[in-house]
């Protein structure tokens, strides 16, 4: 199992070399080679047919998520990962690499997470059809789109305004009508839409923001990477009887949470 996610916020253009994947480089490279075959470099995204993306997505689910050693088993999560057009959430010149086992840069020094990490976090959230979910760190909007197919409503907050606006436009263009995007500091949560059945955080604060704990329903789940750069873990929190139980489930590497979270450093 890959132990690190891979949001290399401080690096300008993340390439294969910085993806912390246990899948051999050669396999990733081969997948790209297949997708790139027959394309002119510049117009590649236009020339990769929709059916090639569908096939790449199906392979992604089989090889990167459901395979032994990866162990994503929730059938609804696997189905959602098999449906969402990840290539629509990455910059056009990178579309042929959208289904590789790695994160990709999305501009503004941010990244779209590795598919495995998206699936792992979604599974740990135990999404239910009637849930209202809050996401902190919209980024490309991809994680929000995966959740949109699994729950009733998704509220997602992004601190980099142009990313928020672009994700909002992409989600609308692709027909996701149950996702609300807000540009702002996710450290504060979304008080007027609270409480939430589940909260997913895709940037790393050094401590769990109290406003997010306050906005979680009784019995609710939160998945959140916590810790300084180089020493982070993904935690699952559960609010039970007014208490919060917290357990670490995976060592990871995410971009830091900025905004109000910086005061905790
Ligand atoms: N979930 C995203 C990937 C997120 S990368 C996807 O599916 O593409 C982490 C994101 O968190 C970045 O876009 C970063 O700008 C954002 N972020 C960092 N600090 C934040 C904060 N305080 N509030 C909201 N978003 C924040």
What pLDDT digit, counting tens, does each position of 104-152 carry? 999 999 999 999 999 999 999 999 999 999 999 999 999 999 999 999 9
**CB of 140 closer than 6 angstroms to any ligand 1 atom:** yes
Tell me: the pLDDT tens digits for 58-116?
Answer: 999 999 999 999 999 999 999 999 999 999 999 999 999 999 999 999 999 999 999 99
- Ligand 1, atom 19, lies closest to the CA of 257
DSSP output for 64-116: IISSTTT----HHHHHHHHHS-GGGGS-GGGGGGTTSSS-EEEETTEEEPPHH
Model confidence, pTM: 0.85
- Could you give the C-alpha distances from 185 to 67, 156, 178, 217, in angstroms and in order? 37, 11, 21, 21
What percent of the chain shows pLDDT beyond 70?
Answer: 82
pLDDT at 28 exceeding the cut of 70: no
pLDDT of residue 5: 38
The answer to whether residue 113 is catalytic is yes
Exposure string of 189-215, with b = 16+ CB inside 10 Å and e = fewer, is: bbeeebbbbbbbbbbbbbebbebbbeb
Q: Which CATH number fits domain 110-264: 3.40.50.150, 1.10.1740.110, 3.90.700.10, 3.30.1360.200?
A: 3.40.50.150
Tell me: the pLDDT tens digits for 189-206?
Answer: 999 999 999 999 999 999
Mean pLDDT of 210-220: 97
Q: Which of 7, 105, 137, 232 to mutate to test the pocket of ligand 1 (most atoms within 8 A of CB)?
A: 137
Contact 234, 222 (CB under 8 A): no
- Ligand 1, atom 17, lies closest to the CA of 137
What is the location of CATH 3.40.50.150 in the chain?
110-264
Q: Which atom, in ligand 1's list, is nearest to the CA of 144?
A: 7
pLDDT of residue 260: 85
Confidence of residue 48 (pLDDT cuts 50, 70, 90): low
pLDDT of residue 109: 95
Q: Which of 21, 32, 113, 261 is catalytic?
A: 113
């Amino acid at each position: 199992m890959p132990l690190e996610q891979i949001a290399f916020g401080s690096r300008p253009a993340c390439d294969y070399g910085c993806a912390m994947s246990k899948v051999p480089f050669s396999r990733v490279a081969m997948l790209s080679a297949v997708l790139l075959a027959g394309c002119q470099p510049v117009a590649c995204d236009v020339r990769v047919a929709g059916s090639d993306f569908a096939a790449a997505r199906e392979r992604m689910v089989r090889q990167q998520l459901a395979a032994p050693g990866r162990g994503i088993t929730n059938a609804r999560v696997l189905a959602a990962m098999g449906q969402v057009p990840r290539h629509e959430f990455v910059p056009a010149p990178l579309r042929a690499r959208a289904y590789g086992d790695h994160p990709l840069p999305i501009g503004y020094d941010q990244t779209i997470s590795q598919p495995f990490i998206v699936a792992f976090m979604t599974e740990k959230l135990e999404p239910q059809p009637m849930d209202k979910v809050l996401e902190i760190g919209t980024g490309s909007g991809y994680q929000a789109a995966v959740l949109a197919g699994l729950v009733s409503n998704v509220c997602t907050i992004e601190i980099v305004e142009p990313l928020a606006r672009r994700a909002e436009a992409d989600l609308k263009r692709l027909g996701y009508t149950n996702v609300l995007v807000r540009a702002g500091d996710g450290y504060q949560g979304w008080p007027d839409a609270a409480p939430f059945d589940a909260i997913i955080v895709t940037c790393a604060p050094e401590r769990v923001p109290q406003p997010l704990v306050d906005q979680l329903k009784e019995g609710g789940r939160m998945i959140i990477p916590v810790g300084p750069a180089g020493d982070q873990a993904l935690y699952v929190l559960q609010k039970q009887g007014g208490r919060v139980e917290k357990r670490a489930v995976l060592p990871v590497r995410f971009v830091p949470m900025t905004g109000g979270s910086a005061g905790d450093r």
